[in-house]
Amino acid sequence: MAGFVSIRNLRKSYGSFEALRGIDLDVAKGEVVCIIGPSGSGKSTLIRCINRLEGSTRKRDPRGRHPVTTGRALARVRAEVGMVFQSFNLFPHLTVRENVMLAPRRVRRTTRADAAAQADRLLARVGISSQADKYPEHLSGGQQQRVAIARALAMEPQVMLFDEPTSALDPEMVGEVLDVMRDLARTGTTMIVVTHEMGFASQVADRVIFMDAGQIVEQGPPAQVLSDPKNHARAISWAPC
Ligand code: ADP
């Protein structure tokens, strides 16, 4: 049965280099999938293809329910998929609250009052209500990333994608962002997370996917993939980048 996200034989080339070499991936509603693997294995490319930041070289799946494979309009895809990047990419000239309000105002034509109320709810959810009127430059990296999560949630996406969301943070700020992501997972958010945080993956993921050289080489419950690797013995000692 096709999943909530359903991808078949996804391929992506940069020139003659094949970054993704035939990915099949189904993610169920409410499932948390963590993608791990050595640097350059295609994790980021995969997640960017899911968000259509990258066009795939070839894809086919008339059965898939998710916009990745059904060819709906790009704007619609983006509205259904929330993405959080390594770098927070907040708008520096907007306050924290305005950053969260922007997409609902522009894309959904939500009224200013409704968008502000929703932003305040989301900022409370990520634990930074008190920062709502500040500009991003006055926030710590961890706080900015939590705003970025709130901003992505504002479009009420069906799937949240995270591309190494804690890699750019000082170590002492990693925990606060992972806590927010834990809370999202606990409350049923469908999540696909590229991460080097093995503790997070082992505690929170329903499934861990190990990629190498553009392919999924192993997947399964965290305990199986992280502690009993079948295919990735040679890569198990990779250094987080
Ligand atoms: P990961 O996220 O696992 O570190 P990436 O998906 O970023 O890996 O990259 C996979 C491969 O594709 C790497 O070899 C990388 O150099 C290459 N790649 C990624 N983006 C581009 C691009 N825009 N142009 C050319 N090569 C790219």
Q: Give me the pLDDT at residue 51, please.
A: 86
Q: Give me the pLDDT at residue 73, please.
A: 54
Q: Atom 26 in ligand 1: which residue has the minimum CA distance?
A: 14
List, for residues 213-237, the tens digit of each pLDDT value: 999 999 999 999 988 666 555 444 4
Ligand 1 center to 215 CA (angstroms) = 13
Q: Atom 27 in ligand 1: which residue has the minimum CA distance?
A: 14
Q: Give me the pLDDT at residue 83, please.
A: 94
Q: Give me the pLDDT at residue 74, please.
A: 58
Q: Give me the pLDDT at residue 61, please.
A: 44
What is the Cα–Cα distance from 163 to 48, expressed in whole angstroms? Answer: 8
Q: Give me the pLDDT at residue 234, please.
A: 44
Would you call 64 helix, strand, or coil by DSSP? Answer: coil
Q: Give me the pLDDT at residue 238, please.
A: 45
| Ligand 1 atom showing the smallest separation from residue 47 Cα | 6
Please choose from 10, 14, 53, 87 the residue to mutate so as to test ligand 1's pocket, defined by most ligand atoms within 8 A of CB.
Answer: 14
Q: Atom 1 in ligand 1: which residue has the minimum CA distance?
A: 40
Would you call 209 helix, strand, or coil by DSSP? Answer: strand
What is the Cα–Cα distance from 145 to 143, expressed in whole angstroms? Answer: 5
Q: Give me the pLDDT at residue 28, please.
A: 93
Tokens of 46: 């995969």
Enumerate residues 6+ apart whose C-beta is below 8 A from 209: 25, 33, 34, 35, 36, 37, 216, 218, 219, 225
List, for residues 70-106, the tens digit of each pLDDT value: 444 556 666 689 999 999 899 999 999 999 999 999 9
DSSP 58: B
Where b means 16+ CB within 10 Å and e means fewer, 24-45 reads: ebbbeeebbbbbbbbeebbbbb
Please choose from 41, 45, 85, 164 the residue to mutate so as to test ligand 1's pocket, defined by most ligand atoms within 8 A of CB.
Answer: 45
Q: Give me the pLDDT at residue 236, please.
A: 47
Would you call 166 helix, strand, or coil by DSSP? Answer: coil
Enumerate residues 6+ apart whose C-beta is below 8 A from 40: none
* Residues of the chain predicted below pLDDT 70: 1-3, 54-79, 228-241
Report the amino acid identity of residue 224: Q
Q: Give me the pLDDT at residue 229, please.
A: 62
Predicted structure pTM score = 0.88
What is the Cα–Cα distance from 223 to 229, expressed in whole angstroms? Answer: 9
